[in-house]
Structure 1
Amino acid sequence: MANNKTNRCLYRADFKSFIEDNPYSILGRIHNAFHGPALTTTDEAWIGEINLLQKVLLPWKDDEAEIIFEYDIPRLGKRVDIIMLLRGIIFCIEFKVGQKDALQSDVEQVMDYALDLKNFHRYSHDRIIVPILIPTKNKTSSKSFVHSVYNDSIFNPLITGANGLQNLIKNVLQHLGANTPGTIKDWIISPYTPTPTIIEAARSLYENHSVEDITRHEADKVTTDATIAYIYGA
């Protein structure tokens, strides 16, 4: 298995196929699936990620596990750098190549990806999701594993440099007691549907409102007209 079957990603494979393949062959598959010109810096980032992950994932080479590059998050109009489905856990990984520090905006970015998967990706609804931010030149790694305030089986984002990624994954698996190999069947073709809690919240919010209330603009007409006039005049 080494394809992007549903066009939701640029590349996917089981760990063994990924690790044993030539890095430039993988890069070629990513290019073939990519619509638009790839910049030199993008190529360098992809090949760096491939080389790193082929080494990092060696301890799990024979696991029933999947790696996915550039998975599409349609609601956000973005792609996650890497999704790993390992021992029933979803690792959501975002690289910041050449960066030393973990910026707050980057932490929020990887958390947004994890929240989107949890709340809108059906086959992720009942799974543990571990977002990891990798400023590649960072010298430290997260030591504590804390669930987010949302109480929904999402970890607070973990941070590590490239050199600490393998140990971080090992520590997460140990912390969760995830000892049984196994991927998440058909995860890649999961429909995008909101969780029941989101649907319930929307219903609760509007069940006592008329259609007029729901369609009503929150801004008053004077403010709206002034805004529109300003835009047209810009």
Structure 2
Amino acid sequence: MLNYYFKDSIQAFLTKNTEEIIGEISLANQYDSTLAQNKSWEVQISILRDAFENIEGTIFFEFSIPRMGKRVDVLAIIHGVVFVIKFKVGEHNYNRSNLEQVWDYALDLKNFHEPSHKAFLVPILVATEAKYSSVEILTTSHKDNLSLPIKVNKEEFRTVIGRTIEFFGDAHELHPDHFAKGRYYPTPTIVEAALTLYNSHTVDEITRSDAEAKNLTKTTSTISKIIATAKQEKRKIICFVTGVPGAGKTLVGLKVATSHLDEINGNASVYLSGNGPLVAILQEALARDKIKNEKANGIKLTKGKAKSSVKTFVQNIHHYRDAYLVDPKAPYDHVAIFDEAQRAWSREQTVKFMRQKKRSA
């Protein structure tokens, strides 16, 4: 499996006809493409052709961000600058939800995709039929080589590409193959943010538990000792935590995950669940609490920034699995906590599913 549906040099992209490009994207898509989706790709290709004329670089369609479960509409690497592009074909307005989405793409790349850590990232929302564009290029105050989202219509898109290249100059050159194969690897800054979030003890407040604190402490302490033993003896150990609903299993998992986030000292952990709504609720609740705490300290924090720290240790197991169908290397994490493990497939069923997924890719 590849973590994109289409990749080529921009020069080669410009020479291919639209049907050929859409055909390549559709063949790589594991889901059936709708007529509306194909029409959208057709419009995108036309706009990109005009914007990228006489420009050298690499273009990706539907680029997957490792373990985040998100695909960027179009990602282009030009003179070391990574353009993260979201298209809204036929849209007349720059809706806030669309701006937040392209901003989240850029943040997730910056925080979790190793080749993007030092790259210049420029998120762009293209509302094709909008009456105006905001072509001003503003970087964040964190000196992280990340620009704020740019709002542009189809007429001004080419201008934005040119101005952005001039603004950043020739950035550090990125090899497209290395970028495409980039692994999931949280930045030290985002890990530190996750640790800060945990140290405020907000996890306890969002997880109802009927278990006594003594039992929870004893369980998490025992698991931590087992983790230390596995590390010292270089062994793989599996633990099973059982209990009735409300016993505090989720809370134990979150505490273990957030207690072992120090990758520098050989600890990196993640809480994984196949329960999509649970993952969404945990991420949302923790992000909101993070924003609330920062506001009390006089610091304004966007939800995108807050959620990035939460995503370090709370993730969807399906996205985790898909990432390592692409990446053959061992996962970044040393400790993986699987919620709802009783619903896991047998080895035979898992192998069967993975074979089907590879054939369909």
TM-score (norm 2): 0.54
Q: What residue number does 1:48 align with?
A: 43
Write the mapping of 1:89-108 to structure 2, written as runs, cut at 5 A.
89-108=81-100
- Gaps spanning 5+ residues in structure 2: where? 211-244, 247-361
Provide the C-alpha distance between the structure 2 equivalents of 1:181 and 1:119, rounded to a whole number of angstroms.
18
Deviations 1:54-89 (Å, cap 9, x if unpaired)? 2211120xx2x1000001124432211000000001
| Percentage identity across paired residues of the two chains | 32
Go from structure 1 to structure 2 and tell me whether the alpha carbon gap of 1:20 and 1:198 turns closer, same or farther (over 3 Å shift): same
Q: Which residue of 1 aligns with 2:124?
A: 132
3-state SS, counterpart of residue 144 of structure 1: coil
1:189 is matched with 181
Aligned counterpart, 2:9: 14
- In structure 1, which of residues 142, 146, 155 is the aligned counterpart of residue 134 of structure 2? 142
Indicate the SS of the match to 1:58: coil
Q: 1:216 to 1:181 in 2, by over 3 A?
A: closer
* Counterpart contact for 1:141–1:168, Cα < 8 Å: no
Displacement after TM superposition at 1:116 (Å): 0.3
Q: Tell me how far 1:215 sits from its aligned partner.
A: 7.9
Greater Cα radius of gyration, structure 1 or 2: 2
Deviates most, 47-56 or 110-119 = 47-56
What is the 5 A alignment of 1:67-86?
A: 67-86=59-78
Q: 1:37 corresponds to which residue?
A: 32
> Residues 134, 31 of structure 1: CA spacing in aligned structure 2 closer, same or farther, 3 A cutoff?
same
Q: Distance in 2 between matches of 1:218 and 1:169?
A: 44
Query: What SS does the corresponding residue of 1:93 show, helix, strand or coil?
Result: strand
The counterpart of 1:158, out of the listed 141, 150, 159, is 150
Count, aligned residues? 211
Moved over 4 A (4+): 180-183, 203-206, 213-217
SS at 1:191's partner residue? Answer: coil
Deviation for aligned residue 1:149? 4.2
- Equivalent pair of 2:66/2:112 in contact (CA under 8 Å): no
1:101-141 residue CA offsets vs partner (Å, 9 max, x unmatched): 10111111000000000000000000110000000001322
Q: CA RMSD in A?
A: 2.5
Displacement of 1:205 after TM fit? 5.5
User: Kindly tell me: are residues 183 and 216 of structure 1, through their superposed partners in 2, closer, same or farther at Cα, counting changes over 3 Å?
Assistant: closer
From the superposition, tell whether residues 198 and 20 of structure 1 become closer, same or farther in structure 2 (CA, over 3 Å): same
Shift of 1:214: 9.6
5+ unaligned residues in a row in structure 1: which ranges?
1-5, 226-234
Matched residue, 2:355 = none
Q: 1:67 to 1:101 in 2, by over 3 A?
A: same
Task: Give me the whole-angstrom Cα distance separating, in 2, the residues matched to 1:19 and 1:38.
Answer: 23
For 1:189 and 1:85, the matched residues in 2 are separated by 14
Native 8 Å contact 1:66 1:183 kept in 2? no
Distance 1:54 1:123, change over 3 A: same
Which structure has greater helix proportion?
A: 2
Alpha-carbon distance in 1 for matches of 2:204, 2:134: 46
